[in-house]
Amino acid sequence: MTVEPIREKSKIKQLYQYLNGSDPKYALIFKFGINTGLRISDIICIKVNDIFNEKWHFKEYLILNERKTAKEKKIKLNDTLRRCLHHYVKTQHLALEDYLFPSQKGGYIGRIQVYRVLKGAATIMGIENFGTHSLRKTWGYWTYKISKYNIGLIMDTFNHCSPSITLRYIGINQDQKDELYSIVQL
């Protein structure tokens, strides 16, 4: 099974609300993924002090080294994500040195646990072909559409070597093929 982006904004909203109602930690992981395009392995190990300075103001950028590529990633967090982060950190009573997504066993939550919770919620919400990589693909899909098809910038953000790889990755090629099948009706 190939995981897909979430192509309907209503489904994104429903899944977020469902997760937020059951466990705000997973809702924020979801929100983080669809607003940054980061891999789940890079999201779960973020510490509070990666985002906030010692005066509890947002840092200008979230700067991290991607686990898969070891490349430095510099992300300017958007206002939607900042609001969610501020509320979450405050209500969870997290300290600067804490992991943003702590595990009950110590350290940070595992990616398999995140997969189980998000996949279970997606199934309940009727979202098919979902996995943790769907967050990254959803960010790419919607960024592509909203940016008026700026594939080069998305390709660079994902560290892909060609536009065709990025288009296939974010599910645009399949969308275009689906459109072809609906155009001709003999």
Q: Looking at 31, 47, 137, 160, which residue is catalytic? A: 160
Q: Is 169 a catalytic residue?
A: yes
The active-site residue out of 9, 55, 57, 68 is 68
Which of 16, 25, 26, 39 is flagged as catalytic?
39
User: What is the DSSP secondary-structure string of the chain?
Assistant: --------HHHHHHHHHHHHHH-HHHHHHHHHHHHH---HHHHTT-BGGGTB-TTSPBPS-EEEE-TTT--EEEE---HHHHHHHHHHHHHTT--TTSBSSB-TTSSB--HHHHHHHHHHHHHHTT--S--THHHHHHHHHHHHHHTTS-HHHHHHHHT-S-HHHHHHHTTHHHHHHHHHHHH---
Does the annotation mark 111 as catalytic?
A: no
Q: Is 86 in the active site?
A: no
Question: Catalytic site residue 39?
Answer: yes
Is 136 a residue of the active site? yes
Catalytic, out of 11, 111, 133, 168: 133
Annotated catalytic residue, options 136, 137, 141, 144: 136
Active site residues: 39, 68, 133, 136, 160, 169
